[in-house]
Structure 1
Amino acid sequence: MAITHRRLLAATVVAALSLLAVWTPARGAEPAPAPAATAPNIIFVLTDDLAWNLVQYLPQVRQLQNEGVTFTNYTVTDSLCCPSRSSILTGKLPHNTGVFTNGGADGGFAVFKGRGNENRTFATALQGKGYRTAFLGKYLNGYLPADTQGGALPYVPPGWSEWYVAGNGYPEYNYDLNENHTVVHYGSAPADYLTNVLSRKGKDFIQRSAAAGTPFLLEVSTFAPHSPFTPANQDLDDFPGLTAPRTAAYDRLPSDPPSWLAGNGPLTAQEKSTLDTNFRKRAQSVQAVDRLIGNLRAQLTASGVADNTYVVFSSDNGFHMGEYRLTGGKQTAFDTDVRVPLVVAGPGAVPGLRRDEIVQNVDLAPTFQRIGAAEVAVDVDGRSLLGLTRGDPASNWRTGALIEHHGPNQAADDPDAQDRRNGSPTTYEALRTATYTYVEYSNGEREYYDRTVDPHQLDNLAAGLPAARLAALHTALVAYVGCHSHSACWTAGHVPA
C-alpha cells in the first residue's frame, strides 16, 4: 500500500518516534539574539528555477560566497514554485501550509491565503517589530495584480509596507504590477524589462528606508530565469556557443526507474539543440539578476547601511535539462531539482565558509525573524541558520530533509505544467540526507540512491535493500510527513543514517 494511504497510522507514528528519539529542544531553547542598537536589515533575492549550474555565470553571487556563507546541502520542500515559496514565507512544510501544487484544491495563492498562511509569515513578524517591508516581483501562482479579493482596491497581503508584484511576469515585458493597490502596466520598451524595473524599485526602497533610519526587509523575487527564458536586450549575444552541461546523467535513465520515467527514450537531436539554446538563454537572462544584486549592494553602501545588512540569495527550485532523458523541467526528487543555492552574507557571517548541514527553505523564515529579534512560533517547522552563518558548531542538527510532491502536474493553465518528457512525477514523498535519497511514490514504487558512490543518482538500489532497512526508512518518512510542530518536525528530521 502506498504511503499516502497510511501515513497517519498511529502505531506507525509511535514506532517512528521511539526509533528516532533524540534530544529535542523546545522552541524557547533556541536562543534569540540580543537586540542590536540598530536592527539589521535584510535583502532577500529569490530567483525562479535557478539551478546550481548557473551560479558560475553570476559574479555577484560568487562575490557573496566569498564574503559570506554557502550552504551546500540546502534543499527545497518541493521543486515547484508555489509550494516552495509557501514554505519560504511561513517556515512550514507543505503538509502544514496545505500548498502542494500551483493551483486547484491543493495549491496556489487561493489555498495559501484561504488557510490563513498570509497572517503568519516572516513579513508579518518583522513588520510587528517595526520593520519597513517590501515585496517586489513574483508572489504566488494564481495571484493577479488587479484582483481585489473582495475589497475596494487591488489586494496587498498583510505584512508588506510596500508591494510591487506581477502576475504573469514570465515574458519580462507587457505585464502589470500591483503597485501599492494601483495597477500599473509596463510595455515592451527596453526600460520595461521586468528584472531591471525591480532593480530600480529596490534601490529606491533601500534609499528611502535608510534615510528614514528604519530597519527594513526587502524581498526581490525575480521571474528570471523561468521560461520563456527572456534576456535583457543588452545580454542577447552573451555566451555564444554555450550548451547545456553533459553530466553523467545527461540522456541516461537510472537503473530500475519509476514508471513515470521509465518510458523515455534517448533525447532526439532536436531536443538536444533546444536544450542547448534554452540553457544559453537562461545564462543570458540571469545577467540582469546579477546586475540587480550589484545595484542593490551599491545602494546599501551609498546609503551607509551595508555593514548592518544581511544579503541572502537563493532559488525556489532547481531545473533539469537533459538529465535522466528529461527535457527542461523540475518537480523530481533528483538533486538537479531539489538542491539549490543558498548564500548568506552579513553581520557575523564567516567569509568564504561552506556549511554542509541539511538545511531547507523552511529555515529561512525563522532566520529572518531571529535577525529582527522577532519570536518564532512553536508551529514553525524550520530553524534559524544564524548560528551556522557565524561558524557555530551544529548542535544535534537535523540529518534529513523532507520533500513532498503532488502530481502529475499537467494543468493547461499552469506555467509549470509538464508532460512525461519534461518530467511529471506521480505523487511522492522523499527523504534526502547528506548521503542518500529515498523516495516513495503513491503507487508503491520506491527509489534509493547512495549518493556517496552515485552522486548523479543513476543506480536505484531500492529493490535490493534489506527488508529491515526499507521498514526503517518508511517509518522515518511517515513520522516526518505526520509532524505538525517544530518539536515534532525537528525530531522527525533526525532520520536513519
Structure 2
Amino acid sequence: MRSAQQMRRAGASYPHTFVTDSLCCVSRSSFFTGQYPHQTGVRTNTSNQGTSMLGGWPAYDTHGNPERAFNVRLQQAGYTTSFVGKFLNEYEWVPGRALPPVVPGWSTFEAVFGSAYDGWDYASTEVVDQRLQVVDHPAPPATASDAEKDRAYAGAVIGDRALDLVRQGEAGDAPYFLEVSVYAPHNRTQPEGYYPGDPLFPPMFRDRAGERSCGRVACSKLTVDDLPGFHDDRRDNRPRALDGSRARAWNTVPTLSASVAERDLRDRARMAQSADRMVQRILRTVGPDTYVVLTSDNGFHLGQDGLGRGKGTPYDTDVRVPLLVTGPGVVPGKRREVTSNIDLAPTFEELAGLAPVPYRSGLSLVPTLTQPRLVRQSYAFLEHTQQTLTGDDPDAAFTGAELDRIPSFTAIRSRTALLARFDLDPRRGHTSWGYEFYDYRRDPFERRNTFASPRSKPQVDALMARLTAFDGCRERGAQPVSDACRALRQ
C-alpha cells in the first residue's frame, strides 16, 4: 500500500512482528489486553453459539477482558477513546434479539457488526446515555450508480467516520486515542455476494477494473510467484515425533489451483485500496504530536505450503503482520526487535504516561521508537486451539474444513526460525505431539521440516528449552506475570 510505504520511509518499521494466534478474535483479544490466549481465555473465534466459553465475545467478556483492556486505563487517564469498525466475533446483533452490552473504556464506540463482511447492508452501534443503539446502513439498489454503492461500502463508511473522529481529536483539548478497524481484505461470508457478480473478496466498484486497480503493482503481475511456497511439495513437511519418527500428516487435502489463487490474490489487493486511501487521509489529517500505528490481526494463506485458503497456522504467511509507527520523535528505519501484538497495549500505555500493569505479558516498544538498534526481545510465542472444538467460524462458507483441520499448537518464533509443536489428536483430553522446524536462513519459506536433521539439533534444542519453559507460564486473567516468563522472549 502507498500509505504503508510512506509510513516506512517516515517512521519505524518492525519486520519481525508476529501475532499470538492468526485468528482474528483471539489476536484482537491479545491486542486489547497485552496477554496470551491462555491468559485471556479466548482461544477460538467462536463460542459455538454460546455453548463453549473458548472463544468469541462470550469468552472475552466472561474472563474479564473488557476491564483489563488498555483503553480503560487510557480513558481513566483523561484520554478521549474512540473505536470504529470491526470489533470481536459474536459481539453481534440481529433484529429481534437483545443488543450486546456496552463495552467499558470507550468514549465513542461504533462497532460495525459482522453483516459488513459482505460490504453492504449492515448495522453498527452508537452509545447514547450509556445505552447501546443500532444504526442501520442500508445498501443502495442494484440499479444505483457505482459511485453511490461505493459511498455505502463498509470500508468507505468506516473511513469517513474515522476522519471525523480524527478531526475531533485533533481539535479537542484532551489527548485522544482512536482505533480504526476495517473488514478489508476479508472474504464475504455469504454464498452469494450482495450485488450480482461480487467476487469472494469484494472491493469497492472503483477498484474492480484496470491494471492499476491492485495498487502499486499491476494486477497482471500479481501471480502465484508472489505466494512463496505455492508450488512446494508438502510431503516433506510432515510432522515428526520427538524421537524423529514420522507423525501423522495433517495437511492432506487438495490445495488451490493457480488460477483461483491468482484471482483471490488480485481481489484482495483490490480490496486493500480502500484501506490504503483511508490511511493516507489519516496521515494527511493528524498533527505533528500524533502517533499513527498500522498493523493487522492476522495474515492469510492462498495455497502456500500446500494449504488451501485461510489462516490459523504457525507459518509465516499467517502469523507475520506489518507494524509501522510514525509520530513525534520516531527515528525512521527498520528494527530488529522481535515484536508481538501483545506489545501494543503496554506501548500505548507508556505513550500515555502510564506505568505498566503486572498482568500484561507484552513489553512496551516506546524505547525502540527513538533507538532503532535497540534489541530486547528475540522471540515470540504462538498459541492455537483447533477450531473443531467450537465450530461455526465465519470463514467456513469458503474455507470449508480448512480451519477445522489445523491442529492445536504451541510454537516459538525467532527472526530466522520456527519450532511448532502440534497436538495431532483432536479429541478432548488426548494428545499426540508432532513437531515441525524451519530455518528461514536456509529456506525462504517452510519448504522442508528439518526437525529430525542433525544439522538442526542445536537450534531445535535451544528453542525446545524455551518452549518447554513457556509451558509453565500459566498465569490467568489479572494474575501477575513472573519475571522468568517475561525473560523467555529475551
Shorter-normalised TM range: 0.7 to 0.9
Deviation at 1:415, TM superposition (A): 1.4
Closer, same or farther: CA 416–260 of 1 in aligned 2, 3 Å: farther
Separation of aligned partners in 1, 2:251 and 2:125: 44
Separation of aligned partners in 1, 2:85 and 2:402: 30
Provide structure 1 residue ranges, at least 5 long, that are not aligned to the other structure: 1-57, 301-305
The one of 290, 293, 318 aligned to 2:276: 290
Where 2:328 maps in the other structure, the secondary structure is coil
Could you tell me whether the CA contact under 8 Å between 1:123 and 1:160 is conserved in 2?
A: yes
Where 1:309 maps in the other structure, the secondary structure is coil
Match of 2:451? 462
For residues 89-111 of structure 1, the C-alpha deviation after alignment (integer angstroms, 9 at most, x for no partner) is 00001111111111223111111
Is 2:8 the counterpart of 1:69? no
Separation of aligned partners in 2, 1:175 and 1:415: 15
**1:141-160 to 2 correspondence within 5 Å?**
141-145=89-93, 155-160=101-106
One-letter code of the match for 2:64? G
Separation of aligned partners in 1, 2:55 and 2:164: 33
Q: CA RMSD in A?
A: 2.3
Closer, same or farther: CA 216–149 of 1 in aligned 2, 3 Å: farther
One-letter code of the match for 2:63? R
Match of 1:218? 178
Deviation at 1:273, TM superposition (A): 1.8
Closer, same or farther: CA 93–199 of 1 in aligned 2, 3 Å: same
Match of 1:375? 355
One-letter code of the match for 2:160? R
Could you tell me whether the CA contact under 8 Å between 2:237 and 2:447 is conserved in 1?
A: no
Closer, same or farther: CA 426–416 of 1 in aligned 2, 3 Å: same
Deviation at 1:298, TM superposition (A): 2.5
The one of 163, 171, 176 aligned to 1:203: 163
The one of 259, 272, 277 aligned to 2:263: 277
Could you tell me whether the CA contact under 8 Å between 1:91 and 1:381 is conserved in 2?
A: yes
User: Does 1 or 2 have the higher relative contact order (CA < 8 Å, sep 6+)?
Assistant: 1
TM-score normalised by L of structure 1 = 0.80
Match of 2:84? 136
Moved over 4 A (4+): 145-150, 408-412, 418-423, 465-472
TM-score normalised by L of structure 2 = 0.81
Where 2:449 maps in the other structure, the secondary structure is coil
Closer, same or farther: CA 209–441 of 1 in aligned 2, 3 Å: same
Where 2:443 maps in the other structure, the secondary structure is coil
Deviation at 1:467, TM superposition (A): 7.4
Closer, same or farther: CA 487–146 of 1 in aligned 2, 3 Å: farther
Could you tell me whether the CA contact under 8 Å between 1:199 and 1:292 is conserved in 2?
A: yes
Closer, same or farther: CA 165–420 of 1 in aligned 2, 3 Å: closer
**1:346-357 to 2 correspondence within 5 Å?**
346-351=327-332, 353-357=333-337
For residues 336-362 of structure 1, the C-alpha deviation after alignment (integer angstroms, 9 at most, x for no partner) is 1111100011111112x0012111000
Moved more, 246-255 or 168-177: 246-255
Match of 1:125? 73
Where 1:333 maps in the other structure, the secondary structure is coil
Is 2:204 the counterpart of 1:232? yes
The one of 242, 252, 255 aligned to 2:232: 252
Deviation at 1:62, TM superposition (A): 0.7
Closer, same or farther: CA 283–256 of 1 in aligned 2, 3 Å: closer
Separation of aligned partners in 2, 1:486 and 1:144: 36
Could you tell me whether the CA contact under 8 Å between 1:315 and 1:340 is conserved in 2?
A: yes
Match of 1:478? 468
Where 1:463 maps in the other structure, the secondary structure is coil
Could you tell me whether the CA contact under 8 Å between 1:124 and 1:158 is conserved in 2?
A: yes
Q: How many residues align?
A: 425
Moved more, 475-484 or 228-237: 475-484
Separation of aligned partners in 1, 2:268 and 2:388: 23
Is 2:484 the counterpart of 1:488? yes
The one of 126, 134, 137 aligned to 1:183: 134
Separation of aligned partners in 1, 2:87 and 2:180: 10
Closer, same or farther: CA 408–422 of 1 in aligned 2, 3 Å: closer
Separation of aligned partners in 2, 1:486 and 1:314: 28
Deviation at 1:439, TM superposition (A): 0.7
The one of 30, 33, 46 aligned to 1:103: 46
Could you tell me whether the CA contact under 8 Å between 1:261 and 1:423 is conserved in 2?
A: no
For residues 418-464 of structure 1, the C-alpha deviation after alignment (integer angstroms, 9 at most, x for no partner) is 44557831111001112210011112110011111112111211123
One-letter code of the match for 2:268? R
Match of 1:424? 405
Deviation at 1:182, TM superposition (A): 1.5
The one of 39, 63, 88 aligned to 2:31: 88
One-letter code of the match for 1:347? P
Could you tell me whether the CA contact under 8 Å between 1:325 and 1:421 is conserved in 2?
A: no
Closer, same or farther: CA 413–262 of 1 in aligned 2, 3 Å: closer
The one of 116, 124, 145 aligned to 2:64: 116
One-letter code of the match for 1:95? H
